[in-house]
Amino acid sequence: MPRRIVLKFGSGTLTSHDRAELDGDQLEKLTGAVANLRLAGDEVLVVSSGAVAAGLPSFKLTRRPSELRVLQACAAVGQTRLMHYYETLFRQHGLHVGQLLLTHDDLEISERRKNVSNTIDQLLSFPNTVPVINENDSVAVEELRYGDNDLLSADVAALIKADVLVLLTTVDGLFPPDSAEILTRVDDIEAVFGFATSERGDYSVGGMATKLRAAQRAMASGADVYIANGRRPEQLGDLLLGQGIGTYFPARAVGSTSSPSSSS
């Protein structure tokens, strides 16, 4: 039976290690992994950060700016560049891209929420289409400042009743303090919030704490959640079968308030 999967690409997984620009080779690997899932019959939606980083070269900037209006200008220019990459790379696999730029109001106001849901459902009904969602950063500011689309991806997963949310970042998963081994499974997410650091990258604003908040939201809506390394896109298929490297957060029954213990 086809799975409904939301994949969130963080800015750090899309940008070069040493330059303020998109990493074309990395984007090619990520889109190839998505295409494999889509062409196998899964319904796949991408929530993609990276617009600000994509726009930095246009203004000869080498680091993420702090001034809000400069961030918004970078996002406005970078979004077109980012979508050009997605359109070009997915076309190589015979797939089309449908772009949706959202704000949190679009998911909170009833009529807008219904319109977004209907549009996504229709896009996913076409077997050769991949919806790509980003925050509308040129007019909205919450994700620019705080979230790097982590919370947006969780809200989208809840909206479309996704089976799985995969948060792809620049680390292999959630690490306990002073440990080099990731937690492979967490059932009690409240027990591990203290493990999160506030570290952020040069081109991103989402830290592990925000990802755990996103995971908590998605789990409560009935979705399994994985946090994994976006620099290992070739393992995506295995990860969804429980065989890859990452931290797995099993879905809670909708309406459940109890939390079993966590395990590694």
Percentage of the residues of the chain whose pLDDT score is greater than 70: 87
Predicted confidence at residue 239, as pLDDT, reads 95
CATH of the domain at 215: 3.40.1160.10
HEC assignment per residue over the chain: CCCEEEEEECHHHHECCCCCCECHHHHHHHHHHHHHHHHCCCEEEEEECCHHHHHHHHHCCCCCCCCHHHHHHHHHHHHHHHHHHHHHHHHCCCCEEEEEEECHHHHHCHHHHHHHHHHHHHHHHCCCEEEEEEECCCCCCHHHHHHCCHHHHHHHHHHCCCCEEEEEECCCCCCCCCCCCCCCECCCHHHHHHHCCCCCCCCCCCCHHHHHHHHHHHHHCCCEEEEEECCCHHHHHHHCCCCCCCEEECCCCCCCCCCCCCEC
Amino acid at 139: V
- C-beta separation of 75 from 144 below 8 A: yes
Residue 249 reports pLDDT greater than 60:
yes
The whole-model pTM stands at 0.91
Residue 264 belongs to a domain? no
Of 42 and 205, the one with more pLDDT: 42
Considering the domain boundaries, does residue 218 fall inside one?
yes
In a domain, 263, yes or no: no
For residue 171, what pLDDT is reported? 92
Q: Is 185 part of a structural domain of the chain?
A: yes
pLDDT computed for residue 241 by the predictor: 92
- Token readout for 26 is 């990395």
Strand 4-9 versus strand 164-169 pairing type: parallel
Asked whether residue 258 is domain-assigned, the answer is: no
User: What letter represents residue 132's amino acid?
Assistant: V
Q: Burial letters for 162-188: b for 16+ Cβ neighbours within 10 Å, e otherwise? A: bbbbbbbbbbbbbbeeeeeebbeebbe
Q: What are phi and psi of 154, to 5 degrees?
A: -65, -40
Number of CB atoms found within 10 A of residue 262's CB: 19
Task: Answer whether residue 204 shows pLDDT above 50.
Answer: no
Tell me the pLDDT tens digit for each residue of 173-193: 999 988 889 999 999 999 999
Is 170 within the bounds of a domain?
yes
In angstroms, the CA 240 to CA 42 distance is: 11
Domain count, the chain: 1
What is the rounded CA–CA span in Å between residue 242 and residue 239?
5
Of the pLDDT bands very low, low, confident and very high (cuts 50, 70, 90), residue 22 is very high
**Which residue range forms the structural domain that includes residue 62?**
4-249
Residue 144 reports pLDDT greater than 70 = no
**Distance between CA atoms of residues 175 and 177, nearest Å:** 6
